[in-house]
Amino acid sequence: MKFALKALARYANSVRANGLRGTFENAAALIDDLRFDRIHGTETAQGVPLDALVVRGRNKHLGVEYTPTRVRAFHKLMAHLKPPVGGVFVDFGCGKGRVLCAAAAYPFRRIVGVEFAPELAAICRTNVAVYRRSVKSGAEIVVIEGDAAEYRFAGDEDMIFLFNPFLPAVMAAVLGNLHRSLRAHHRVVLLIVSNPDALAPVLAEDALLRKIDEYAYGSSRFFIYSNAPT
Ligand SMILES: C[S@@+](CC[C@H](N)C(=O)[O-])C[C@H]1O[C@@H](n2cnc3c(N)ncnc32)[C@H](O)[C@@H]1O
């Protein structure tokens, strides 16, 4: 009885905060997340506090702990964006690699994850290898162990994903490197920020990128920026 009352109260709170549709979407996303690791044999669900990790680089104090993207929300976002064939996708702060695995369902030529905690990068590599046994993808998937602020763009990345990985100071360094890359290798990029509250102010000031779209599924919110001409 107590359990049923608690569940009912949680449901009522969720409907108040997210509406009926948002509550349904959150429930569907939760179920997909629970199934994801079971289906693919990966381990992406468990969050990891940064305190528990050794980290490469100077930016540990500016990092956000590992929690995974809702895989259903990511797929809905990709259905909305329809990535073209042959693009290059980067997830800054890729953690255990759930987004890299999910991105393999789309026609990217290369998928790159950057993660500054070696322990997470190792789990990520294992997850990607295990995932590839059950899902065929032509994409090359690369996991780079290092600080996002020090990532040197190859010059062909055109879809950049960030799920609230770090504070604005690190984002500013990433944007500086992206600007240099765009000057050297002009191309149109989409930069997607999931859970965007912390990074939206620094992106609002950016000289090259402007917000062109936003998308939400359940409680997952995505802001989409681009340097595409208006
Ligand atoms: C919220 S999790 C996102 C995980 C993954 N992108 C996803 O969406 O499932 C943030 C991740 O960013 C990593 N991170 C934080 N600061 C970083 C930095 N400066 N360079 C690289 N990775 C960083 C954390 O270790 C953590 O794994």
Pocket flag, ligand 1, residue 97 (CB < 6 Å): no
State whether the beta carbon of 59 lies less than 6 angstroms from ligand 1.
Answer: yes
Can you tell me which atom of ligand 1 is nearest the CA of 164?
1
Ligand 1: centre distance to CA 106 (Å): 22
Cβ–ligand 1 contact at 95 (below 6 Å): yes
Residue in 96, 105, 106, 109 with CA at minimum distance from that of residue 69: 96
Average pLDDT over residues 32-59: 95
Q: What pTM, to 2 d.p., does this model score?
A: 0.94
Q: Identify the structural domains of the chain with CATH numbers, from first to last.
A: 50-226 (3.40.50.150)
Tell me how far apart the alpha carbons of residues 148 and 153 are, in angstroms, rounded to a whole number.
10
pLDDT tier for residue 7 given thresholds of 50, 70 and 90: low
- CA within 13 Å, CB half, 121: 19
Q: Is residue 149 lining ligand 1, measured as CB closer than 6 Å?
A: yes
Report which protein residue has its CA nearest ligand 1's atom 5: 94
**Rounded distance, CA 210 to CA 227, Å?**
6
Q: Residues of 41-75 as b/e, b for ≥16 C-beta within 10 angstroms?
A: ebebeeebeeeebebeeebbebbbebbbbbbbbbb
| Nearest residue (CA) to ligand 1, atom 6 | 94
What's the CA dihedral at 113, 114, 119, 123 to 10 degrees?
0
95 Cα: distance to centroid of ligand 1 (angstroms): 5
Which amino acid, 155?
A: G
Is 91's C-beta closer than 6 angstroms to any atom of ligand 1?
Answer: yes
Cα separations in angstroms, 79 against 60, 83, 175, 198, 200 = 34, 8, 26, 25, 23
Structure token digits, residue 35:
């199934």
Residue 222 in contact with ligand 1 by CB distance below 6 A: no
- Ligand 1 neighbourhood includes 93 CB (under 6 angstroms): yes
- What confidence score (pLDDT) does residue 155 get? 98
Tell me: the pLDDT tens digits for 91-123? 999 999 999 999 999 999 999 999 999 999 999
- Report whether pLDDT(214) > 80: yes
**Cα–Cα distance for residue pair 27/77, rounded to 1 Å:** 17
pLDDT at 37 (0 to 100) = 96
